[in-house]
Amino acid sequence: MNASAKWKRLSGAVAVMLVISLALPVLALAADRVVFHFDKTSQTVTGAVYYDDANDADPSVTKAVYVESPQGTQIDITNLLTMTSHTNGNGLYYSLEGDLSSTGVTEDVYGFHWMDDNSVFAGLDTVTGSVYQYVYEKPESNTGNNGGNGSSNGNGSPSTGGSIPDGSGSEGEESDPQGAEWILTEEDLQPDSNGRITLELDDSTEVLRIPADTDAIAENVEWVIQGTAFQLTIPGKLLLEHLDLLHSNEWSQAEIVLQMKSLQDEQISVVTAAENQGNTEMTPAGEVIDFELFVETDEGDPLRLTGFTPALTLSMRIDMDTEDRLTYMYTINEMGNATYVPGDKKDGWLTAKVSHFSPYGIFTYEKDYVDVKGSFWAYDVIRQLTAQQIVYGVSDAEFAPSRAVTRAEFTALLVRALQLKYVADHPFQDVKDTAWYAADVAAAYQAGLVEGRAADQFAPQEKITREEMAVMLMRAYERKYGQQTLSGDDNAFTDRTSISPWAMVAVNEAVELGLLVGQGEQVFNPKAWTTRAESAQVIQQLLP
């Protein structure tokens, strides 16, 4: 659409589709908007459908509103709505109100269209949720359409061609459907004294094309791609690995292509649909960018690596006024599932290592559990670790904060907190390969975090004791931060003689570091078990 759009989720999690056909004249409007509000549960619609800040719209223009099913059936609901025109200090707008129950619209639907003045569909937007508000901001002028997407470049912003500093591009040049491209030349590819090539992008640039036969692709050359909302650092070795996908005699006819497409709000609604369900809300707190890196030749499909070794470094700007403890970087797969990407926050940016490409973005992730109220002592910790995908509920709605933690569960918490990966097997006969925790136990065992209660018995379903937790916790701490020089003083717990000799040092160190505290008056309770809420607090203390 040749428009920018902003979604505001109001409630619910049922997919909804609206088709809004606005037969509007070609007007030079300052900020026309469509605001539409549909509640599938009650089958009612309300809202302002057209807004003219410039006060120059024709109030006699007919507006038509449709609901469309996934099968493409359109139902004209114009006559079911009461449409009223209003004026205020901001201009002219139309409000809609009506009952849609007679339409029989019950199936899930996924987006909406709008029409230009020539009655040509100008775009498709997709959204999930039972109640949404859509704001459509029309550009200052509308010059028609180009085969179904107006003057848009297909991602919600006008195609303006664009230019790149250093003379690589021409002002006013028409862009292709994928967005403005910068075809790099040898003049652009001159490393600085540090062996770094830095490319500063215009806002309109979405594609970089690197000639495959350039000498600038070298192991000792680092590439830095700077956009307004992101910075990408690519090791030269990774680009060389892309060239290995070709025969050397193909290099002169090939390019390495980097695509960086910013998703518009309606597209973000699509890719986050799987997460925005029930009591979970994932809200953008920065740009969401779909990255791709591949080799392209004159013949054949693009060639891609399945993963990046070495990894790239991605920095993304964080919007101001976000909830810092719940705002992180995520990557979103083709099924719409989001994966937390660990990184470092500094000066309004989040920097992380990435080993593959897909849509990446900064989001605020909020999930509530019915049994963890705002007044609960571990409420903030549980929400934070849920956003970091370190802890999960026992169901989508419940966390069970007072339930005891098993050895398998705490092992999984440590593995997620340290981002350990499964690399080899384990010796435990009571950990079946099909168990949900099998990979976590194997990763923790190979990292030296866990041992069994016997040589071949891990006891995964047994409740973990506080002294076992101390030992595992200190091993994880040393792996993450290195060996620490501590006082080694004995703790002051009155029940310290009950602490097993093999756990005494770990308990002393964990208490000195503030990772663990006693229970009550100078009591550690080494053989007691820990609740899920307490284990979340312990993991939060482990993290920086």
pLDDT of 414 strictly over 70: yes
pLDDT digits (tens, 9 = 90+) for 107-126: 333 233 333 333 333 333 33
Whether 510 has a pLDDT exceeding 50, the answer reads: yes
pLDDT over 90 at 448, yes or no: yes
Res. 227: pLDDT tops 90: yes
Q: Strands 338-341, 344-346: parallel, antiparallel or unpaired by DSSP?
A: unpaired
Tens digits of residue pLDDT in 157-169:
222 233 223 333 3
- What per-residue confidence (pLDDT) applies to 345? 93
Name the band, by pLDDT with cuts 50, 70 and 90, for residue 200: very high
Sign of dihedral through CA atoms 173, 197, 304, 418? negative
Helices 532-542 and 466-481: crossing angle in degrees, nearest 10, is: 20
> What is the 3-class SS of 85-136, one letter each residue?
EEEECCEEEEEEEEECHHHCCCCCCCEEEEECCCCCEEEEEECCCCEEEEEE
Give the Cα-Cα-Cα angle 290, 393, 385 (nearest 5 degrees): 60
Whether residue 53 is predicted with pLDDT greater than 70 in this model: the reply is no
* Adjacency order of strands within the sheet including 4-11: 4-11, 131-137, 33-39, 44-52, 91-99, 81-88
Radius of gyration, CA atoms only, the chain = 28
Residue 80 banded pLDDT, cuts 50, 70, 90 = low
Tokens of 369: 């559990």
Positive or negative torsion for Cα 315, 316, 321, 325: negative
Q: 422: pLDDT confidence band, cut at 50, 70 and 90?
A: confident
Q: Residue 405's closest CA among 480, 330, 464, 478?
A: 464
What long-range pairs does 367-370 form, CB within 8 A, spacing at least 24? 367/279, 367/280, 367/281, 367/393, 368/279, 369/279, 369/393, 369/397, 369/398, 369/399, 370/279, 370/397, 370/398
- The C-alpha angle 419, 423, 425, rounded to 5 degrees, equals 120
Whether this prediction's pTM lies above 0.75 is answered by no
CA distance 210 to 215: 11
Nearest to 62 by CA among 24, 33, 116: 24
Q: Take residue 325 and report the two structure tokens written for it.
A: 């403890």
pLDDT tens figures, 329-363:
999 988 888 999 999 999 999 999 999 999 999 99
Residue 51 vs residues 39, 67, 81, 421, 492: alpha-carbon distances, Å: 21, 21, 17, 53, 70
